[in-house]
Structure 1
Amino acid sequence: MEEQIITKNFIEQIIDADLEAGMDAIATRFPPEPNGYLHIGHAKSIFLNFGLAKKYDGTCFLRFDDTNPIKEEDEYVESIQRDVAWLGAVWDGEVRFASDYFDAFYDMAESLIEKGLAYVDDQTAEEMHKHRGTLTEPGVESPYRDRSVEENLSLFRQMRDGAFADGEKVLRAKIDMASPNMNMRDPAIYRILHASHHRTGDKWCIYPMYDYAHPLEDAIEGITHSLCTLEFEDHRPLYNWFIDHLADSPHLKSKPQQIEFARLEIENTMTSKRRLKALVDAQLVDGWDDPRLPTISGLRRRGYTPAALKEFCQRIGVAKTNSIVEQNYLTFCLREDLNRVAPRAMAVLNPLKLTLTNYPEDQIEWVEGVVNPNDESMGTYQIPFGKHLYIEQEDFREEANRKYHRLKPGGEVRLMYGYIIKCEDYVKDPETGEITEVLCSYDPMTKSGMPDADRKVKGTLHWVEATHAVDAEVHLLDDLMDPDQAADADILDRFNKDSLEVLKGCKCEPRLAEAPIGQAYQFMRKGYYCADRKYHTPEAPVFNLTVGLRDKFKG
């Protein structure tokens, strides 16, 4: 038997080489900014960072890069922790925050000033942007660039003590205004911001910039492999510059190796927290966990499973170049998982009355349904059956050709788990012409265990018994983004106003009233639907469409 060769991704190959060269153990981290809810793109990073730590018996921290108090909230911190845990990731130690290191950041900023590598600039943000230069032209040095160490220290301490207004001064790294890398042209590392922080309160009125704090956090925590997406590749020289020039700081434990990988982009899917927040703020969606949103909270509410998301991320792999993944690839992974684990049930979304004219009026019998045909251990359940039923409106046609194998005048179909029935007549509304009831006879010899149980007909319909039926509300969900709008259009213009259709008066099996919150079911012949986490109750069941039974992707 040939030995199976497992190809490792390029990050695993780097880690293997580092361990072979003598590295004791790896340390990774997942470092979100608490300025919104996580989206599906973050899932890839979560599975990668925590997965590598687990595979190589290393550590992985959950750390919040909370350096901008204006945009950060405890709500986001709590939601992120909830999402990471739901995906199955277990972080090492306590949750960490950039704000844990504010004192260390400040000490190291003073150290840069003392080394002549940072200065206080009085220029406005507009002036600094104007003097930054372009990709083909060097920037212009600030007139304050050559201030003395003593003056810079004094001014920086006055900034810390609240002597200046927001934007009046900024601390910049002194690197190279002619560098071909725009990030190296004396970037700002501290700004004045008189804003209360969600953790430190009003202790600080100056806050470190992300590009300054982020690499230092990694080095403080002893991170060995700092994994990030490709848009940070041009930031790597700046990150290394900070760490190299602060290598003598007692705060730093390591020089992290930054490795960039392709971010997750899915066709016609918005993964910008800023733009998603615009939809939330405009109340076009039902909060950050709206099941139409690609946030992890929204996907959970829609009925996605951690296993499906993990399988999807593993299938697309870890690459060095960006690409856009077909949306059908994601739904294929979801459908495969739900097919294995979701219970089956019958629900009629657009009900049409069906009466069995030769069935006893007051008789109710119980037929046996299979919970999941792919998992016998899930067993069977009992379904009420009687004279009065509901079927889908689309399952009856007054006029139909030979290819239509559902119910039609004189035609026969089998009711799932039940009898073969024949359409004898139907009732129309005299004013609208709408068909309001189908009248059928049933063959009592065609039930399971009866002599004609194996008699073949081409169509099988799902149904719900009328007297035991539970009224439910079903939400049909479509793409959040309007495919006819340009990708660079304003997010409010791109929003698909037809992305939600609410169906009221749907008829469900009685057991669906007791559906656990968040449980996904396969509604027979219709698709997978999930008991809504926000609105579902036994008295008023609400289900969201998770995914249809099929799409264009063939695997």
Structure 2
Amino acid sequence: MQNNKKKNFIDKIILKDIKNDKLIKIKTRFPPEPNGYLHIGHAKSIFTNFNIAKTYNGTCNLRFDDTNPYKEKKKYINFIKEDIKWLGYKWHGNEKYCSNYFEKFYKYAMILIKKGLAYVDNLNNKEIKIYRGSLTKKGINSPFRSRKIEENIMLFKKMKKGVFKEGYSCLRAKINMSSKRIILRDPVLYRIIKLKKHFKTINKWCIYPTYDFSHCISDYIEKVTHSICTLEFQDNKILYNWILKNIDVKKKPKQYEFARLNIEYSVLSKRKIKFLIEKKIIKEWSDPRLLTISGLRNRGYTPNSIKKFCYNVGLTKKENYIQFSFLEHCIRSDLDKKVNRAMAILYPIKVIIYSLPKNYKKIIKIPNHPKIKKLGTQKIILRREIYIDKNDFINNNHIIEKNVHIKWKAKLRYSYVIKSKKIILNSLNQTQTIYCKHYQNKCFKKNSKVKIIHWISKKESIKSKFKLYENLFVTRRPANKKNMIQYINKNSSKTICGLVQKDIIYKMLKNYIQFERIGYFFLNKNIKDKNITFTRITKLKKNKKCQK
């Protein structure tokens, strides 16, 4: 896939590296933190790292950044692995963990201390933040910055042994408190965490490295050649390189950044998604309205559609927002030529074609796909009693009154033209049954204003639930709002009880189908319900009238 497209800036970097060193073995990695589910932004990173490895005959590691026991949980490990496999990727060897390298991290930290490039600080988090300064104000040296090397070694060993309580001290790099880059103002390398067990190492460690310290060393240990991440880590690159330079390693990996993925009417931040769950806006990470990979899977998106999206979005250095409609375009283009068509009724109204005999039965052979003959044909049955959709009978603003006859005419898809002769209303003054007379197709002109409508014979129908989803937010960029809860779309989810054909399961291709004029649907077998439940993946781009 990647070879067929114009090379992006990372491709050009890799090709240049290969040219300069013919023996280079490309190795990338995908390093998620197991503190939530993966979202489509992660899918882009997965797509990038795994496809680069494949394109240049290299390998890609899966490494879990498990350096903060307060945030990470073992359950997320399995969800992440499942998502990667579902997307169709296989990592090199066994999955790896930063915790596998804790002994090595400790030794490298000691190297920095012995070089006078790291010190144990007793300022608390709030004080460190104040001393660090701001973009307009230089930082101030910690009063503990001038500790002697021997004292720092002794204190760091005590930290490791658990002598100090949590938050009492930390290990900081000694770089430059006057630097214009805040990241270089003596960043924290290690902190004490004793009140929470690590899901993997349990109580073996009570000091844990920060992401900035562990990430670059993990890349080095695994012999990663190209450490590819998003632009928010651009400033961290300086620290990445500083650490590798000062722990005296050879063949250093190089970090490259691309723009983070932003999609309209959605939030991708795990922190914000957790907030939505806490506020009970959504129940779980796999909600179909979310752009988590599991949410997209529950919505009915295919792995190929997500990869197609990532491929077409591409890699750039410029931050921008992608239209949600482009994601919908990718699933439509993936399903369009693969899935069969069928008719479904979301809001049923009974129609009795009184001009047909009571035992009337007409078998009609129709194509599974209007443009692709190889998908074959199906049979539908027309009988005297059918169901149509109320939206096809009358527009929602029109009120039918008792004893008032409405002249209404329509053409049944693949069959007769029908005209209303009598309308039966229920106690709420709503249309309950329409009595119609049928006419041959010669009464129908292709250029006439007669609407072609969908129908299902009563005897061939079965009840079904339709889950219809819209964007979770009504504003294009909810992540930028101070209170994003105010912009929740209250109509983002609804369930409708309608009708489908009894043999619908046999007309579907791998649980997918297009209900004409309504959209692409996915038969979600994970939903525990007695009724058949269809989830709408996306609406159709246009509701075109089929002249037949």
Distance 1:91 1:369, change over 3 A: farther
How much does 1:518 deviate? 7.9
Distance 1:37 1:329, change over 3 A: same
C-alpha separation in 2, matches of 1:491 and 1:97: 35
Q: Is residue 499 from structure 1 mapped to residue 499 from structure 2 by the alignment?
A: no
Q: Is residue 466 from structure 1 mapped to residue 458 from structure 2 by the alignment?
A: yes
When structure 1 is superposed on structure 2, of 66-75 and 513-522 the one drifting more is 513-522
C-alpha separation in 2, matches of 1:116 and 1:481: 51
Aligned to 1:175, the other structure's residue is in SS state coil
Aligned to 2:460, the other structure's residue is in SS state coil
C-alpha separation in 1, matches of 2:360 and 2:95: 60
Distance 1:545 1:489, change over 3 A: farther
For 2:186, the equivalent position in structure 1 comes to: 186
Aligned to 2:521, the other structure's residue is in SS state strand
Q: Is residue 422 from structure 1 mapped to residue 401 from structure 2 by the alignment?
A: no
One-letter amino acid matched to 2:451 = G
Select the residue among 418, 442, 445 that pairs with 2:438: 442
For 2:546, the equivalent position in structure 1 comes to: none
For 1:372, the equivalent position in structure 2 comes to: 369
For 2:241, the equivalent position in structure 1 comes to: 240
How much does 1:400 deviate? 11
For 1:337, the equivalent position in structure 2 comes to: 334
What TM-score, normalized by structure 2, do the two folds share? 0.90
**Unpaired runs of 5+ in structure 1?**
402-407, 447-451
Per-residue CA distance 1:367-419 (angstroms, 9 max, x = gap): 33433334433322333432221111010128999xxxxxx955543322333
Q: Tell me if structure 2 keeps the 8 A contact 1:485–1:493.
A: no
When structure 1 is superposed on structure 2, of 63-72 and 463-472 the one drifting more is 463-472
One-letter amino acid matched to 2:337 = R
How much does 1:488 deviate? 2.1
How much does 1:507 deviate? 0.8
C-alpha separation in 1, matches of 2:251 and 2:434: 75
Aligned to 1:337, the other structure's residue is in SS state helix
How much does 1:531 deviate? 1.8
Per-residue CA distance 1:9-28 (angstroms, 9 max, x = gap): 11111111000001522111
Which structure 2 residues correspond to residues 24-39 of structure 1 after superposition, within 5 A? Answer: 24-39=24-39
How much does 1:278 deviate? 1.4
For 2:540, the equivalent position in structure 1 comes to: 549
Aligned to 1:156, the other structure's residue is in SS state helix
C-alpha separation in 2, matches of 1:264 and 1:414: 46
Distance 1:362 1:338, change over 3 A: same
C-alpha separation in 1, matches of 2:509 and 2:197: 37
For 2:531, the equivalent position in structure 1 comes to: 540
When structure 1 is superposed on structure 2, of 379-388 and 67-76 the one drifting more is 379-388
Distance 1:465 1:520, change over 3 A: same
When structure 1 is superposed on structure 2, of 186-195 and 109-118 the one drifting more is 109-118
- The percent identity for this pair of structures is 39
What TM-score, normalized by structure 1, do the two folds share? 0.89
Q: CA RMSD in A?
A: 2.6
C-alpha separation in 1, matches of 2:472 and 2:330: 20
One-letter amino acid matched to 1:164 = F
Per-residue CA distance 1:161-204 (angstroms, 9 max, x = gap): 21111111101111111111111111111111112112212211
For 2:134, the equivalent position in structure 1 comes to: 134
For 1:84, the equivalent position in structure 2 comes to: 84
C-alpha separation in 1, matches of 2:362 and 2:69: 63
**Unpaired runs of 5+ in structure 2?**
399-404, 544-548
The count of corresponding residues between Structure 1 and Structure 2 is: 530
C-alpha separation in 2, matches of 1:53 and 1:415: 54
C-alpha separation in 2, matches of 1:240 and 1:282: 41
Select the residue among 500, 516, 521 that pairs with 2:513: 521
Select the residue among 373, 378, 382 that pairs with 1:381: 378
Q: Tell me if structure 1 keeps the 8 A contact 2:67–2:209.
A: yes
How much does 1:467 deviate? 2.4
One-letter amino acid matched to 1:226 = S
Per-residue CA distance 1:61-115 (angstroms, 9 max, x = gap): 1111111111111221111111111222221111111111112111211221122
Per-residue CA distance 1:494-539 (angstroms, 9 max, x = gap): 3322211221x311111346798983321111111222353165x3
How much does 1:283 deviate? 2.7
Q: Tell me if structure 2 keeps the 8 A contact 1:536–1:542.
A: no
Per-residue CA distance 1:194-235 (angstroms, 9 max, x = gap): 121122122111111011111111111111111111111111
When structure 1 is superposed on structure 2, of 115-124 and 280-289 the one drifting more is 280-289
Q: Is residue 279 from structure 1 mapped to residue 276 from structure 2 by the alignment?
A: yes
Q: Tell me if structure 2 keeps the 8 A contact 1:352–1:436.
A: yes
Q: Is residue 328 from structure 1 mapped to residue 325 from structure 2 by the alignment?
A: yes
